[in-house]
Structure 1
Amino acid sequence: LNLALFALLPIPIIIVGIPLFRKRSHKVYHKAWRRWADVSSLLWDTIPGIIVVKTFTQEKFELKRLIERMTNLVKANLKITLLHIRFFPLLGFSISTGTAIVWWIGGHEVLKEQITFGSLVAFVSYMGMFYGPIQTISNLFEPLQSSLTSSERILEIMQVEPDIKDAPDAVEFTFKGAIKFKDVSFGYNPYIPVLSNINLEIKPGEKIGIVGPSGSGKTTLTKLLLRFYDPTEGAIYIDGVDMRKIKLKCLRSQIGLVLQDPILFYGSIAYNIAYGRQDATPEEIIAAGKAANVHEFAMNQPLAYDTNVGDRGWRLSGGERQRVAIARTILTEPRILILDEATSSVDTLTEKKIQEAMENLAKGRTTIIIAHRLSTLQNADRIVVMDKGKIVEVGTHEELMKSGGLYSQLYRAQFAEETITIGAVKR
């Protein structure tokens, strides 16, 4: 009985110490995680922007920032080390002390012939079997606490309820392509409207161009159509059904989007084309590639369609990335197509190839084209002119040019810039 009491001496230290350690470690681990996040965010900003850093000769400035953040990270990790030094040696010392006392008391009892030496050895062995798992678990505290701290932010994000979600009575159906904006107003900040009282009807299969100065709300209009946000006032209807009553998967799977700066994922050309349809066959991928003018440059790559495009597609040129994005959209066969400044950042020859790809993509689909180069919209069925979040003009290219409004001013200003540029090139 005496040996058992001495053997249990470390138990109070373990029962009291572990909760105290967890309470203190949560703070220091969380602080270290924040410091590591500061270092990661700095590297995430500066490494992709290394050209800008070198251009403005800011290497020393960025190095200074990195050293400051690394210093803070080291200090935070030192606090973790100090906490471990205070707790884990104490835990080990208490267990070792308990074992030593058992040997001491047990030895005296063996000499007094109160117990046998074999019984003492057996008892100490049982102590080892009891405390061994406790020491093993204590060795897991450090990686466990580190993992818990890292997962905290992930769980926080995952548990956030999305603002945009399916209504209980949401429906699914195949779109024909009719779109209606009715008294739509919206602002990212409710008190600062970006769109005001938008009324627009688009027929199935119609090609609509949207133009206007920067900040007029053109891209915001497409974000509402994809239901990344809901209008603060009014409603958007697709084939007569309020968009809020359509299931999100049904809505977004039937709307194709091609951005000005297309996003490609690390992987092959084929993987990126098939991203919207994971079950696509090689034949379907190649057919989409041909329709988007991808096939020619893809076949000139070392591994053809299996060539890796790199992070965000950096191994491809801007025009090539754009055509891969168009091929990706073609493969999903959307009923409604949104082209957001898809040719604004490419040269004239590349623009021609992209225009051909977009013509193939737009056939038989309701198409909304946001364009900076107004010459690309001359074949649109109608052109919508926006300014300061409102629709100020709607009509064909010829009608808008005759009216002498904002569209004609933008067109003449752009045409004058192109004429000056051509003249300078000739000289």
Structure 2
Amino acid sequence: MSANNEDLKKVTQRRRPHGPGARMMPGEKAKDFKGSIGKLVRFMGQFKAALVLAIIFAIGSAAFNIVGPKVLSKATTELFEGLVAKVGGTGGIDFDAIAGIIAATLVLYLVSAACSFVQGWMMTSVSQRTCYGLRRAIAEKIDRMPVGYFERNSTGDTLSRITNDVDTLGQSLNQGVTQLITSATTIVGVVIMMLTINPLLTGITVLILPVSLALIFTVVKASQKHFRAQQAMLGAINGQVEETFSGHAIVRAFNREQTVAETFGKTNAKLYESAWKSQFLSGLMQPIMNFVGNLGYVGVALAGSVLAVQGVITVGDIQAFIQYVKNFTQPITQLSQVGNVLQQMAAAAERIFAFLEEPELEAEKPTAKAADVDCDVEFDHVRFGYDPDKPVIGDFSAKVRQGQTVALVGPTGAGKTTMVKLLMRFYDVDAGAIRLCGTDIREFSRTDVRNQFGMVLQDTWLFNGTVRDNIAYGKLDATDAEVEAAARAAYVHHFITTLPHGYDTVINEDASNISAGQRQLLTIARAILADRRMLILDEATSSVDTRTEERIQKAMDNLMEGRTSFVIAHRLSTIKNADLICVLQHGDIVEQGTHEELLSLGGVYAELYNSQFEEDGVEDE
């Protein structure tokens, strides 16, 4: 394998599936099992009564099921003694007594089934109500989270917490807790019932326990490394498939189909090797437990026959004891499986509560209400850094008059987009102030501030819905006529009419069924329809061709007339008519003025403008 393939292999092995389709890896463990379970129990405190009842019915189901063999053993004894008496000519079989015993046993099993049904219904209700509460808590938490969290963390990870982790927790809670209670109750109950029959036989049976545990731990220890390898290879497979599909055109363009297939084949072979070993070893658990259980049957049968001959126990007791031996080994196996389920539940709970405990936006106590009037915007010695020790904006001051168009220009990383985030209160300044109508925007609620702005960003965002719904997102109560007028103003109406269903055409989840430029036009139409007092345009025409850009620019000029507009632009030709151009460098304004004024200075702006002109000249040539 080439060096490039080796690098790809290392990358894909490190990667794990993410996003809505990602699942928690089986056997994944929580770092703080006790703490995570404690948080989950406290969250479920609101369902305490239902949970307690579910536990009571689970214990009841196990208890009635345990008593069954003991009662049924009396029928076996009655039948055996009656048969012996009939053969000896001293009596016969008392079928009425046997019928009464069987009826009593049937009642016990029916009650056990009823308890199991009620327990299952209540536990399912508790687990799903818990999932419902956690999803709602996460959704509400998202609204209270600072924008910085989502810039630091992947969207797929957040989605995984609200979908996969909650689902894993719900399934584990429903299965694991119930199984834990019934298995533990069964073991304790069976031991008690066996002791009431014969302590010696109980001692023989209990000897199975250490043998069972030793074999279980041996198998688990042997299979664990193969399970880890299996999950690592699954991650590698998923990473390779994801990268190959997303870059399918590149793979074809460079004729790397064979290389990709070989890389996938090697990873797939390793997955096969680890998967069959892990599944084979884990599959040994049941045969081993059956073998140990059969040893218990043999021991009980031998010792029981001797005790029966001596008249210490009855034949029915032996039959009941053999049933109890089976009931004793089965929950031991179940408990070993429950441990893994509970670990997954704790790991899911840990991820969920880690998100719910993330720092939130500070509680707002607005002291002012933004008036619905046009006014000035002032940046007063603004200082800000995503890391307080590394300021992005050093000392920014500017005053924007009502109705002016202000352009923010400068090299990449100068702080242009950061200024927009501060203006929208996605972040708050570290020092200085941004004033709207003379009032610090921190005195307004964030909702109040954002209601003043319409935005068109370089990164377009459209959702899975009709074209009409996507435009109307700027004004949810807009009429069809208003939506169409906004589309016309954005020069997108003609394109929409060419779609299969016009305005009712559905845009898919990633909006890949329309071009990047068309997506940009739709977001511009959305901003036009919103009709806010102030506008923020962040490279709003970056994804359209030159001819369309000119048409949109005219529409934007009409839209911005009379409104305060903040424009971030790299194409300096698009902001020639701005009332004020602020040139940023290292978070500070180094020049400001009109296009002509800044060109006459021959400074940073002139250098940027001329360099673009030269690049355009080279391209034209």
Q: TM-score, normalised by structure 2?
A: 0.55
Paired residues for 1:5-404 under 5 Å:
5-10=203-208, 36-59=234-257, 66=264, 81=279, 84=282, 90-91=288-289, 93-125=291-323, 135=333, 145=343, 149=347, 153=351, 156-162=354-360, 165-170=361-366, 173-174=369-370, 178-188=376-386, 190=388, 192-252=390-450, 254-274=452-472, 286=484, 288-356=486-554, 358-359=556-557, 362=560, 365-404=563-602
After superposition, the C-alpha distances for 1:125-157 in whole angstroms (9 at most, x for unaligned) are 455566656655655666665565567556544
Amino acid at match of 1:374: L
C-alpha distance in structure 2 between counterparts of 1:361 and 1:137, whole Å: 68
Contact 1:322 1:354 in 2 (8 A): no
Contact 2:460 2:523 in 1 (8 A): yes
Contact 1:216 1:388 in 2 (8 A): yes
C-alpha distance in structure 2 between counterparts of 1:179 and 1:74, whole Å: 64
After superposition, the C-alpha distances for 1:362-406 in whole angstroms (9 at most, x for unaligned) are 455432111122222133221112233321222222333343333
Contact 1:208 1:380 in 2 (8 A): yes
Contact 2:293 2:325 in 1 (8 A): no
C-alpha distance in structure 2 between counterparts of 1:231 and 1:386, whole Å: 17
Aligned to 1:338, what secondary structure does the other structure show?
strand
After superposition, the C-alpha distances for 1:196-254 in whole angstroms (9 at most, x for unaligned) are 21112223443211122333322232233334444444333344444445444444454
Amino acid at match of 2:313: I
Residues 419 and 249 from structure 1, CA distance in 2 versus in 1: closer, same or farther, beyond 3 angstroms? same
Comparing 348-357 and 23-32, the one that deviates more: 23-32
Contact 1:14 1:91 in 2 (8 A): yes
Q: Cα distance, 1:355 vs. partner?
A: 2.9
C-alpha distance in structure 1 between counterparts of 2:605 and 2:421, whole Å: 23
C-alpha distance in structure 1 between counterparts of 2:486 and 2:219, whole Å: 59
The gaps in structure 2 that reach 5 residues or longer are 1-197
Aligned to 1:386, what secondary structure does the other structure show?
strand
Aligned to 1:121, what secondary structure does the other structure show?
helix
Residues 390 and 148 from structure 1, CA distance in 2 versus in 1: closer, same or farther, beyond 3 angstroms? same
C-alpha distance in structure 2 between counterparts of 1:72 and 1:341, whole Å: 47
C-alpha distance in structure 2 between counterparts of 1:82 and 1:213, whole Å: 60
Number of residues of Structure 1 aligned to a counterpart in Structure 2: 421
Comparing 231-240 and 312-321, the one that deviates more: 231-240
C-alpha distance in structure 1 between counterparts of 2:259 and 2:475, whole Å: 45
Contact 1:29 1:145 in 2 (8 A): no
Comparing 230-239 and 198-207, the one that deviates more: 230-239
After superposition, the C-alpha distances for 1:265-321 in whole angstroms (9 at most, x for unaligned) are 444434544556777776665555444344432232223334333342111112210
Larger radius of gyration: 2
C-alpha distance in structure 1 between counterparts of 2:270 and 2:449, whole Å: 47
Aligned to 2:582, what secondary structure does the other structure show?
strand
C-alpha distance in structure 1 between counterparts of 2:420 and 2:288, whole Å: 62
Residues 49 and 323 from structure 1, CA distance in 2 versus in 1: closer, same or farther, beyond 3 angstroms? same
Provide the alpha-carbon RMSD of the alignment: 4.4
Partner of 2:36: none
Q: Cα distance, 1:32 vs. partner?
A: 5.9
Amino acid at match of 1:223: K
C-alpha distance in structure 1 between counterparts of 2:410 and 2:421, whole Å: 16
Aligned to 2:246, what secondary structure does the other structure show?
coil
